[in-house]
Amino acid sequence: MKVAVFSSKPYDIRFFNSAIQSDHQFTFFEPHLNAQTAALSQGHDAVCCFVNDSVDRETLEQLNKAGISLVALRCAGFNNVDLPAAIELGITVARVPEYSPFAVAEHAVALILGLNRNSHRAYNRVRENDYSLHGLLGFDVHGKTVGVVGTGKIGQAFIRIMRGFGCRVICYDPYPSESTTQAGGEYVELETLWAHSDIISLHCPLMQATRHLINSKTLASMKHGVMVINTSRGALINTSDVITALKTGDVGYLGLDVYEEEADLFFEDNSDDILRDDVFARLLTFRNVLITGHQAFFTKEALEAITAVTLTNLTAFEQNDMAALHQVLPPE
Ligand code: NAD
């Protein structure tokens, strides 16, 4: 198949080029996929895209005109795809449902430990020949209660790590699983999770029911000084509400790998530009906020797996092997 790869970075090109042992031909495009760039896919059979590409109805209509029959996402989440529109236009959507749950779970833990022990501040201090400890006081993670929202693959990997730290792990998922209980998670109602957790980590998908799950109302029911970690999708948090809670100290620590308006910021070097997002700029002023630019997935093992599953999806689609295709289907 001829595949137009959007939002290509040098590391995507490196991993794809080292894995290709098939007849598929790739054209790598730097821009995001959207209605304006979709025409670049003319002459290809499929597009391959990532988390901040906009696969909305307008884009899909352009792709349809260009003769595209497959959208192969190189990520797990598909909240950026208008699935009903794709189905209507006869465009198949495939994804990489699982690459490395450990990569994301371990990054969530890195944010917890970094925030708690102020590693980001200590790093800068030591470089300034300043070895004072004021402001760096942490707490033992051991013995704390950790709340996990979403106990899928990443949530379960995270639970196992936090159980290793000696934490009590309480969790919420509308579809509880036996494997979560075996990993040491205790299911509770969401209200109980908000009220009892010292640390809350989000591992559920972004959808209508979870948009702004963290808002002024839910924040008010949490422990004063709670730590909130989001490695899932930015819009799970109402950022303005969390800023208000940071100002009062109701939220004591905030660790983010994702941000609601990240599409205009993340994955690019904007260091020559002015930061125009005032909400994001305010977040950056808090010493107890640690932000990374959507890098939780970014391990060698995860990129190898993303490449391998994407190639499998392309071949499966070409050979009409629906059993091997990781197709995104509408909810039943
Ligand atoms: P998964 O599908 O295995 O698990 C998601 C879980 O969330 C499921 O158990 C599901 O039942 C549960 N869920 C659904 N609705 C819910 C609700 N209303 N409240 C609580 N839980 C709910 O997915 P996963 O592989 O564990 O990934 C989780 C999320 O992590 C993805 O949706 C994606 O947004 C994010 N992610 C981020 C990165 C990154 O680099 N930062 C990388 C991969 C995935």
DSSP string, 130-146: ----TT------TT-EE
Give me the pLDDT at residue 77, please.
86
Distance 299 CA to ligand 1 centre (A): 18
- Specify the residue with its C-alpha closest to ligand 1, atom 42: 297
Give residue 18's pLDDT band: very low, low, confident or very high (50, 70, 90). Answer: confident
Ligand 1 centroid distance, CA of 203 (Å): 5
- For residue 205 and ligand 1, the question of a CB distance below 6 A is answered with yes
pLDDT band at 98 (very low <50, low <70, confident <90, very high): confident
Query: Does residue 330 belong to any structural domain of this protein?
Result: no
* CA 265 to centroid of ligand 1, rounded, Å: 23
Six-digit token string for 119 = 């590693």
Is residue 326 domain-resident?
no
pLDDT at 264 over 90: no
Residue 34 lies in domain: 2-99+300-318
Indicate whether 90 and 194 sit together in one domain.
Answer: no
CA distance 196 to 218: 12
DSSP 287-322: TTEEE--S-TT-SHHHHHHHHHHHHHHHHHHHTT-T
Q: 294 an active-site residue?
A: yes
Ligand 1, atom 19: closest residue by C-alpha: 173
Q: Which of 95, 233, 260, 326 is catalytic?
A: 233
Q: Residue 34: which CATH number?
A: 3.40.50.720
Q: Are residues 175 and 312 in the same domain?
A: no
Q: Is 151 in the pocket of ligand 1 (CB under 6 A)?
A: yes
Ligand 1 pocket, residue 253 CB under 6 Å? no
- Both 197 and 75 in one domain: the answer is no
For the cut 80, the answer to whether the pLDDT of residue 132 exceeds it is: yes
Say if ligand 1 is within 6 A of residue 74 CB. no
Residue 134: the pLDDT is 96
Mean pLDDT of 115-135: 97
Res 34: pLDDT: 96
pTM reported for the whole predicted model: 0.92
Is the Cβ atom of 100 under 6 angstroms away from ligand 1?
no
Mean pLDDT of the 157-185 span? 98
- Look at residue 332 and tell me whether its pLDDT is greater than 80: no
Ligand 1 centre to CA of 148 (Å) is 11
Task: Specify whether 117 is located in the same domain as 250.
Answer: yes
Q: What is the pLDDT of residues 61-91, one digit of tens each?
A: 999 999 999 999 999 889 999 999 999 999 9
| Residue 87 buriedness (CB in 10 A; 0-12 / 13-18 / 19+) | middle
